[in-house]
Amino acid sequence: MSTERGRVLTRLARASIARALGQTVDEPPRPDWLKAPGAVFVTLTRDGELRGCIGSLEARRSLEEDVVENARMAAFGDPRFPPLTRPELDDTRVEVSVLSAAQPIDFTNEADALGKLRPGVDGVILEWGRHRATFLPQVWQQIPEPRDFMAHLKRKAGLPADFWDDGVRLYRYTVEKYEEDQHARA
């Protein structure tokens, strides 16, 4: 994972939020690799607590556009939190996770599916009918046991924690995670 890549992505995310708050921003560099398709999640934390997290599961626009839009949405459009305010921004830490393409997980039942999960490595998408949810690999830090991880993911998708059906589909992805360097912010 490139330190320079991480610096560009996190500065771009922070600049997007600052601009939306009406602040004057020194534009971060825009290397050519930002034009490639990409899917990212932008996670905001304050005092170690989640403050917003929004992202894309599939690359449908350029990496630059995805970072800019998801940073704004994490700051102002995450329904779990009020919109970020200007005074909060200085104390907010920005993290950008670039997702790999999701791959289906083949399994025969829930026990088999749980055995195929790679704690700390896999981001997981659960789909059943119109229900859909994901957890980034970072969530394993708070929920390290696969059965508990899956139960929380089902609840996030609006399903009971003990729900299972042969129609459940699971996908895995990995991320390149870049955390903002608090001392190198510009």
Beta-carbon contacts of residue 122 (< 8 Å; ≥ 6 apart)? 137, 172, 173, 174
Domain with CATH 3.30.700.20 in the chain: 3-99
Show the beta-strand stretches assigned E in the chain.
37-38, 40-46, 49-55, 61-62, 92-99, 103-104, 123-128, 131-135, 169-173, 175-179
Q: For residue 183, what pLDDT is reported?
A: 42
What type of residue sits at position 11? R
Query: Residue 182: which pLDDT band, with cuts at 50, 70 and 90?
Result: low
Residue 165: strand, helix, or coil: coil
* Mean pLDDT, rounded, for 2-17: 93
Q: What is the pLDDT of residues 14-38, one digit of tens each?
A: 999 999 999 988 887 899 999 999 9
Residue 138: strand, helix, or coil: helix
Please state, in angstroms and rounded to a whole number, the distance separating the CA atoms of residues 49 and 65.
Answer: 26
Residue 43: strand, helix, or coil: strand
Q: Is the Cα dihedral 6, 90, 74, 31 positive or negative?
A: negative
Report the CATH architecture of 103-173.
2-Layer Sandwich (3.30)
CA-to-CA separations, 52 to 34, 36, 81, 84, in angstroms, rounded: 23, 25, 7, 9
Instruction: Evaluate if residue 162 carries a pLDDT over 90.
Output: yes
What type of residue sits at position 145? E
Instruction: Evaluate if residue 185 carries a pLDDT over 70.
Output: no
* Mean pLDDT, rounded, for 118-124: 96
Instruction: Evaluate if residue 106 carries a pLDDT over 80.
Output: yes
CATH class of 3-99: alpha beta
Domain with CATH 3.30.1490.150 in the chain: 103-173
Half-sphere exposure of 149 (CA within 13 A, CB side): 29
Instruction: Give the tokens for residue 174.
Output: 């990995």
